[in-house]
Amino acid sequence: MPIYEYQCRDCGHIHEALQKMSDEPLLICPSCSKPELMKKISAVGFRLKGGGWYETDFKDGAKKNVAGDQPSCPTPAACNGGGCAGSS
């Protein structure tokens, strides 16, 4: 479930609420109890990082191998803990 951010137009109170996407927007401010809450538009709170799963999961056909057939490290024995000593 997404976390929505609201701000009261009357008192300026900022409120976060965990809601389903299908839920109606909140209207009553928890601080001043007036029906002045307005849903804010804010950035998402996650970032896709990792070994490339997002690069290939949503592609089809010839676009599957975006990185090419070359190994990411020229000498796998030189790699320690994910870092590659051979690519400087």
CA distance 61 to 47: 26
Mean pLDDT across 13-21? 93
Confidence at residue 87, expressed as pLDDT on a 0 to 100 scale: 47
pLDDT band per the 50, 70, 90 thresholds, residue 88: very low
User: What contacts 72, CB < 8 A, 6 or more positions away?
Assistant: 84
∠ CA 1-16-45 to the nearest 5 degrees? 60
Q: Is the pLDDT score of 31 beyond 90?
A: yes
pLDDT band per the 50, 70, 90 thresholds, residue 1: confident
